[in-house]
């Protein structure tokens, strides 16, 4: 049971190409169902690891990578289909590229090896998942919801968390 959080993380990674493929095929309901299950496991694996002391180095590395890959696949497929504005896809992916660049600089030129997520980052991820879910719900003809509020909140939180990470990175690099 100790490896259950890691298994859940790996399964979440494995669903990503399928979700994107289903969306590209116009199978939004199927994509939404798998998306919902996969997105719900994001909290489950972390909760299990903390509650039962099943944390591992693999999980600490794989879980944030799974989160990023999950959102990259989702946002690229929705952007490709025109279901999500490309400017929002650019903001979400751009923030992640900047965070990766800061991490690479820190790894290459400093002794900093720990890059914990922040509340801002977690809220940004929450809004990104919410916007993607709302978009899939609308395009799956399940529920017609206005998407603009989801897109605006996602953009605001993503930019805000990107600035927050930038400030943290500058402060850590100066140490």
pTM over 0.75: yes
**At which residue do the structure tokens 């590229």 appear?**
97
For residue 159, is pLDDT > 90? Answer: yes
Residue 147: CB partners within 8 Å, gap ≥ 6? 84, 131, 134, 135, 138
**How confident is the model over 129-142, as a mean pLDDT?**
85
Instruction: State the average pLDDT over residues 9-36.
Output: 87
CB 39 within 8 A of CB 129: yes
What mean pLDDT value characterizes the chain? 88
% of the chain exceeding 90 in pLDDT:
33
Q: What CATH class has 4-174?
A: mainly alpha
Predicted local distance difference test score (pLDDT) of residue 23: 83
């Amino acid at each position: 049971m100790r490896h259950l959080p890691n298994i859940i993380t790996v399964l979440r990674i494995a669903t990503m190409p399928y979700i994107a493929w289903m969306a590209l095929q116009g199978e939004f309901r199927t994509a939404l169902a798998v998306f919902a299950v996969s997105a719900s496991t994001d909290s489950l694996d972390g909760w299990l690891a903390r509650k039962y002391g099943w944390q591992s180095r693999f999980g600490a590395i794989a879980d944030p990578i799974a989160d990023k890959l999950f959102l990259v696949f989702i946002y690229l497929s929705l952007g490709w289909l025109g279901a999500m504005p490309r400017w929002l896809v650019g903001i979400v992916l751009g923030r992640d590229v900047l965070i990766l660049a800061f991490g690479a600089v820190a790894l290459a030129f400093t002794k900093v090896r720990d890059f914990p997520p922040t509340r801002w980052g977690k809220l940004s991820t929450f809004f990104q998942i919410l916007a993607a879910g709302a978009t899939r719900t609308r395009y799956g003809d399940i529920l017609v919801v206005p998407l603009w509020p989801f897109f605006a909140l996602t953009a605001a939180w993503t930019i805000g968390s990107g600035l927050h990470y930038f400030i943290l990175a500058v402060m850590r690099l100066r140490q």
